[in-house]
Amino acid sequence: MIPGQLHVPAPHLTDASTPGEARHDIFFAAVETTRMPMIVTDPNQPDNPIVFCNKAFQKMTGYTPADIVGHNCRFLQGPETDQTVIDQVRDAIARQEEVAVEVLNYRKNGSTFWNALFVSPVFDASGKLIYFFGSQLDISRRKEAEEALHQAQKMEAVGKLTGGIAHDFNNLLQVVLGYVDLLDGRIDETDRSSRRAIEAIGAAANRGATLTQQLLAFARKQELRDRLLNLNTLVTDFGPIIQRNLGDDVTVRRKLAENLWNSRIDPVQAEMALLNLVSNAHDAMEGAGHVTIATDNVVTDTDAALAPGLEAGEYVSLSVSDTGRGIDTDNLDKIFDPFFSTKGVGKGTGLGLSMVYGFMRQSGGGVSAENLPEGGARLTLYFPRARGIVDPKPGPVLRNVGGGETILMVEDQPQVAELGRAMLEDLGYTVEHVDSAARALEVLRAGGQFALVFTDIVMPGMTGVALAQTIRREFPNLPVLLTTGYSDRALDEDSRAFELVRKPYRRADLSSRIKTLLEGPNGIA
Residue 420 has pLDDT above 50, yes or no: yes
Q: Above 60 in pLDDT, residue 1?
A: no
Q: Determine the average pLDDT of the residues in 329-346.
A: 58
Quote the pLDDT of residue 216.
60
Q: How confident is the model at residue 349 (pLDDT cuts 50, 70, 90)?
A: very low
Q: In this predicted model, what pLDDT tens digit does every residue of 197-207 receive, in sequence order?
A: 888 888 887 77
Largest CA distance in the chain: 106
H or E element: which one contains 243?
Answer: helix 239-246
Q: How far apart are CA 209 and CA 56, in angstroms?
A: 58
- Angle subtended by helix axes 414-426 and 507-518, to nearest 10: 70
pTM of the model: 0.46
What region, left, alpha or beta, does residue 412 occupy, with left being phi > 0 and alpha being psi -120 to 50 degrees? alpha
List of residues 6+ apart from 57 with CB closer than 8 A: 37, 38, 39, 68, 136
Per-residue pLDDT for 494 more than 80? Answer: no
| Span 233-253, average pLDDT | 86
Instruction: Kindly provide the residue ranges of all beta strands, DSSP E only, lying in 79-181, ordered along the sequence.
Output: 99-106, 112-123, 129-138
Q: Look at residue 491 and tell me whether its pLDDT is greater than 60.
A: no
Poorest-confidence range of 177-191, 300-314, 489-503? 489-503
Q: Which residue has the higher pLDDT, 228 or 39?
A: 39
Query: Rounded distance, CA 351 to CA 491, Å?
Result: 25
CA 368 – CA 357 distance, rounded (Å): 9
Provide the 10 A C-beta neighbour count for residue 138: 18
* Structure confidence by residue, pLDDT tens digits, 286-313: 878 999 999 999 998 877 678 877 888 8
Compute the distance between CA of residue 265 and CA of residue 363 in angstroms, rounded to an integer: 7
> What pLDDT sits at residue 328?
78
Residue 69: what pLDDT? 93
Selected residue with higher pLDDT from 343 and 301 = 301
Q: What residues form DSSP beta bridges with 370?
A: 378
Starting at the edge strand found earlier in the chain, the sheet holding 499-502 runs: 430-434, 406-410, 452-456, 480-484, 499-502
Question: Residue 431 above 90 pLDDT?
Answer: yes
DSSP per-residue letters across 159-186: HHHHHHHHHHHHHHHHHHHHHHHHHHTT
**pLDDT exceeds cutoff 50 at 339:** no
Q: Do domains 6-138 and 406-518 have the same CATH topology?
A: no
Rounded alpha-carbon distances, angstroms, from residue 401 to 185, 396, 480, 518 = 13, 12, 19, 12
Cβ-Cβ contacts under 8 Å for 422 (sequence gap 6 or more): 178, 179, 182
Residue 464, pLDDT > 80, answer yes
pLDDT at 145: 76
Q: Which of 130, 101, 64 is CA-nearest to residue 53?
A: 64
Q: What is the mean pLDDT of residues 383-397?
A: 62
Find the range with the poorest average confidence among 259-273, 338-352, 462-476: 338-352
pLDDT higher at 162 or 448? 448
Q: Phi and psi dihedrals of 85, rounded to 5? A: -70, -40
| Per-residue pLDDT band at 182 (split at 50, 70, 90) | confident
The domains of the chain are located at 6-138, 231-389, 406-518
More confident residue, 509 or 65: 65
Dihedral sign from CA coordinates of 510, 514, 520, 525: negative
CATH of domain 406-518: 3.40.50.2300
The pLDDT > 90 percentage for the chain reads: 35
Interatomic CA distance for residues 484 and 217, integer angstroms = 15
pLDDT exceeds 80 at position 348: no
Q: Would you say residue 181 has pLDDT above 60?
A: yes
Are residues 323 and 330 in contact, defined by beta-carbon separation less than 8 angstroms? no
Q: Which CATH superfamily is domain 6-138 in?
A: PAS domain (3.30.450.20)
Report yes or no: 473 and 426 within 8 Å, Cβ to Cβ.
Answer: no
**Angle made by CA atoms 150, 153, 155, in degrees to the nearest 5:** 110
pLDDT category at 33 given cuts 50, 70, 90 is confident
> What is d(CA 482, CA 480) in angstroms, rounded to the nearest whole number?
6
Superfamily of domain 231-389: Histidine kinase-like ATPase, C-terminal domain (3.30.565.10)
Does the pLDDT of residue 345 top 60, yes or no? no
Residue 488: per-residue pLDDT: 54
Asked if 452 contacts 431 with a C-beta cutoff of 8 angstroms, the reply is no
What average pLDDT does the segment 488-507 reach?
A: 70
* Contact of 39 with 73, CB cutoff 8 Å: yes
Averaged pLDDT score across all residues of the chain? 80
Tens of pLDDT along 37-53? Answer: 999 999 999 999 999 89
pLDDT in tens, 58-105: 999 999 999 999 999 999 999 989 999 999 999 999 999 999 999 999
Comparing 57-66, 326-335, 487-496, the range with the smallest average pLDDT is: 487-496
pLDDT value at 327 more than 50: yes
pLDDT by residue (tens digit) across 117-149? 999 998 988 889 999 999 999 998 888 777 767
